[in-house]
Amino acid sequence: MQKVIRFIGVGNLSVRQIKEAQEYTKNRIIANQVEYNLLARNGGHVTNDMESRIIPYCQKKQYNHYCVETSGQR
């Protein structure tokens, strides 16, 4: 049988969650899509430690890091 899935993208995961998700698959995680803007930099629900931990980790692992632009309305 031919493998169908080669790469995985995730969304709104912390560094700990990315590491845990990678343990469950042999496929490489290549992207983490998150909400990130000037209004939700390091104090938001999902974006805690965004600049200090998540972005540097994704760069180190050569993950694509997609940031979702929001309207700023909550």
pTM for the whole structure: 0.69
Q: How many domains does the chain have?
A: 1
48 found inside a domain:
yes
74 found inside a domain:
no
22 found inside a domain:
yes
- The DSSP-derived string for 14-59 is -HHHHHHHHHT-SSEEEEEEEE--GGGSSSSSS-TTIIIIIHHHHH
28 found inside a domain:
yes
Is 7 in a helix, a strand, or coil? strand
Most confidently predicted of 19-23, 56-60, 64-68? 19-23
16 found inside a domain:
yes
1 found inside a domain:
no
Give the pLDDT confidence of 6-52 residue by residue, as tens digits.
889 888 888 899 999 999 999 988 888 877 766 666 555 555 677 77
Tokens found for residue 51: 């600049």
55 found inside a domain:
yes
What is the domain range of residue 49?
Answer: 7-68
